[in-house]
Chains A and B, each alone.
Chain A
Amino acid sequence: MNSQSEDDPAIDVRGLNKHFGDKHVVNDLSLRANRGEILGFLGPNGSGKTTSIRMMCGLLTPDSGSGICLGYDIRRESEQIKRRVGYMTQRFSFWEDLTIRENLDFVARMYKMASRREAVDQVLEGLNLTARSTQLAGSLSGGWKQRLALAACMLHKPELLLLDEPTAGVDPKARREFWEELYALAARGISILVSTHYMDEAERCHKLAYIAYGKLMARGTAQEIIDSQGLTTWAVTGRDLPAIAAKLRGEPGVEQIAAFGSALHVTSRDATALDAALRHAMIGTSWHIEPAQTGLEDVFIHLMNTSSDNYGAR
């Protein structure tokens, strides 16, 4: 199955649209995810990530557009899709008044798992929760809820995982463990779509898709996305960064200024104009400038700014 991943994608949706009232929440979204691949789904809050994911697993009906998920039509065959997909909701959505084991038992029964008891025991062991299996899910801390939710949505051994901001509010150590788990799953041929706000996580994905205001702005590997925008970035260091930023802002050719630790990243599509602007602004100052690698974050900030310009102009 994995070998033919190119012509048998895990997700292949085309021209999806969704409106809520007169709000165009997902705008002509086309997206493809290969089998065994981790696809990072990025975009600012309210850009339509959750809505898109819900349409892919049949929880929302698109206003228009079509799509295939694991070979099944997202409009007509959502029953088949549901059986093969593990969906982890953005908000914890297991039953807080059921214990950990009862939640897992419920899920296993809903998927008609043959060896329910063993599967549940195994998950509890894997989570190190065997001793606390009779604790109410509502009494778990945020991080543990995430882990329970992930374990529960993988209980039925899905072929595709749709994870909606699974690591929001999870500590770094738990996040790292979580990603190790995702790699292990992907290596076993499981396809994963994961939405996130974390840049380090974005960099870990095989492929990325960036969406803003419901529109897909860029997609590909991290490097492809960076290259596609053709940005030039300089790192500016000096004594008073806010003052430098204030001075540079509005200079012709300076499109974007973002603080990165002890440096300012100044970015533009027009390398010559940026070069000229910096040289001009530097006169009589003790700033130090050097060319910098344009990073994913620079690109995303750039994409967000340009898309909001587009949005405002509409």
Chain B
Amino acid sequence: MDHFSFSRWWAIVLKEFLQLKRDRVTFAMIVGLPIIQLLLFGYAINSDPKHLPTAVVISEQSEFTRSYLAAMKMSGYFEFVAELPNEQAARAALAQGKVQFVVNFPTDFTRKLLRGERPALLIEVDATDPMAASAAIASVRELTASVAKKDFKGVLASLGSGAPPFDVRVHKLYNPEGLTQHNIVPGLMGVILTMTMVMMTGLAITRERERGTMENLLSMPGKPIEVITGKIVPYVFIGLIQITIILLAARYLFEVPFVGSVAVLYVVALFFIAANLMVGITLSSIAKNQLQAVQLTIFYFMPSILISGFMFPFQGMPQWAQAIGSMIPATYFMRAVRGILLKGNSWVELWPSIWPMLMFMVVVMTFAVITYRKTLD
């Protein structure tokens, strides 16, 4: 018998490209969906909220405390709404959500500072919504350094050189795991790609079946693997376009650092895209009709959002959820993207995230080829 035919495979690829080109709605979705999701998720979560309600617990005022609080106010992130008598009152205010931050200068803070005892300044944060707080926390670290430089002149000059002469302890409450802002955009990349890739191809075969063209396609020579892989090729390009849109947004809208190599990221994304397309085409092949295909897509999509580490920190999930999450490519992809963008991971560090994606893809593809129905039965 004959083997994989490039000619036939190419016929399918071309056909899919042409059909995709004429399908305006789908095309609009391909570009529109990532943008809408980025705006919704990205901005809703990533907005850089300012003027967060802040309380101060302070036993004695000094020139230093005044200038430190002034700097905090200057940063724009903090709005001082109350001065509280003690730690207890502070906790209560945080618990009730009246304030999101409490700046606590312990007793004798200034005196210890002058003595060079490196006192600690405590900032308590309601980190229920870690995204909302993270920018503000980051600003604290910056302004601490600058206050130290600026204010410790004259008598205090000796203290001003080198490291700040005091510690700032940030104490996150309620969600100590606290994802940082930059976790969200890489995660979004996984979510958006999962959704669009699986959705686009999820209908690829059911559509042919419902339009009656499947009968024609099946009456021609053609191997399951040619049809299945041929059908997903155009969507690989779509996926790469989407990645580019998201990366541009990450860089210029959300200012995510790009520590690692973008080229590596594209390669990793390619694996992830292929894995998702395989899922889509498989669902499409086993679904009886388009409605069922959509339902299956959603069924696949839910865990990719909920237990992949996008919604909740992966390590904080119960064991069973982690176990399921470990079978989803989105989990590994998000990990890899964070690794690349934020930590500058190289292939060696990325490999533990890459091979599960590849294995997933091969397993799903095998399943798709085996279950592909060559007849109308």
Given the contacts A102-B18, A110-B8, A112-B8, A93 and B213 also touching, CB distance less than 8 Å: yes
Given the contacts A59-B215, A91-B212, A82 and B11 also touching, CB distance less than 8 Å: no
Q: Mark B15-54, 1 if CB is under 8 A from A, else 0.
A: 1001100110000000000000000000000000000000
Q: Mark A60-77, 1 if CB is under 8 A from B, else 0.
A: 110000000000000000
Cβ of B28 to closest chain A Cβ, rounded Å: 16
A-B Cβ contacts below 8 A, count: 75
Cβ of A17 to closest chain B Cβ, rounded Å: 14
Contact of B15 among A60, A85, A91, A98 (CB under 8 A): A98
Q: Mark A169-210, 1 if CB is under 8 A from B, else 0.
A: 000000000000000000000000000000000000000000
Cβ of A70 to closest chain B Cβ, rounded Å: 14
Inter-subunit contact B221/A82 (CB<8 Å): yes
Chain A residues closer than 8 Å to B22, beta-carbon distance = 97, 136
Given the contacts A60-B376, A60-B377, A93-B213, A82 and B219 also touching, CB distance less than 8 Å: yes
Inter-subunit contact A109/B19 (CB<8 Å): no
Inter-subunit contact A110/B375 (CB<8 Å): no
Inter-subunit contact B375/A60 (CB<8 Å): yes
Chain B residues closer than 8 Å to A97, beta-carbon distance = 18-19, 22-23
Chain A residues closer than 8 Å to B222, beta-carbon distance = 110
Q: Could you tell me the distance between the alpha carbons of A182 and B27 in the complex, rounded to whole angstroms? A: 43
Q: Mark B288-328, 1 if CB is under 8 A from A, else 0.
A: 00000000000000000000000000000000000000000
The CB with the most chain B CB atoms within 10 A, among A59, A61, A136, is that of A59
B137 within 8 A of A: no
Query: Which chain A residue shows the least CB distance to B5?
Result: A112
Chain B residues closer than 8 Å to A136, beta-carbon distance = 22
Q: Could you tell me the distance between the alpha carbons of A24 and B18 in the complex, rounded to whole angstroms? A: 41
Q: Could you tell me the distance between the alpha carbons of A82 and B222 in the complex, rounded to whole angstroms? A: 9
Q: Could you tell me the distance between the alpha carbons of A109 and B219 in the complex, rounded to whole angstroms? A: 14
Q: Could you tell me the distance between the alpha carbons of A114 and B19 in the complex, rounded to whole angstroms? A: 25
A144 within 8 A of B: no
Inter-subunit contact A106/B15 (CB<8 Å): yes
Chain A residues closer than 8 Å to B1, beta-carbon distance = 79
Q: Mark B203-232, 1 if CB is under 8 A from A, else 0.
A: 000000001110110111110000000000
Cβ of A214 to closest chain B Cβ, rounded Å: 17
B14 within 8 A of A: yes
A94 within 8 A of B: yes
Chain A residues closer than 8 Å to B14, beta-carbon distance = 102, 105-106, 109
Inter-subunit contact A94/B376 (CB<8 Å): no
Inter-subunit contact A106/B11 (CB<8 Å): yes
Report, as a range, how many residues of chain B touch the other chain: 20 to 34
Chain B residues closer than 8 Å to A59, beta-carbon distance = 215, 218-219, 375-376
Cβ of B220 to closest chain A Cβ, rounded Å: 4
A260 within 8 A of B: no
B61 within 8 A of A: no
B7 within 8 A of A: yes
Chain A residues closer than 8 Å to B220, beta-carbon distance = 82, 107, 110-111
Query: Which chain A residue shows the least CB distance to B213?
Result: A93
Q: Could you tell me the distance between the alpha carbons of A195 and B15 in the complex, rounded to whole angstroms? A: 30
Query: Which chain A residue shows the least CB distance to B15?
Result: A106
Chain B residues closer than 8 Å to A102, beta-carbon distance = 14-15, 18
Which A residues fall within an 8 A CB radius of B?
54, 57-61, 78-79, 82-83, 85, 87, 89, 91-98, 102, 105-107, 109-112, 136
Query: Can you give 16 contacting A-B residue pairs, CB < 8 Å?
Result: A59-B215, A60-B375, A60-B377, A61-B377, A85-B219, A87-B216, A87-B219, A95-B15, A97-B19, A98-B15, A98-B18, A109-B7, A111-B221, A112-B7, A112-B8, A136-B22
Which B residues fall within an 8 A CB radius of A?
1, 5, 7-8, 10-11, 14-15, 18-19, 22-23, 211-213, 215-216, 218-222, 374-377
Smallest CB-CB A-B distances: 9 pairs: A109-B11, A93-B216, A87-B219, A110-B220, A93-B212, A112-B7, A97-B22, A82-B221, A83-B221
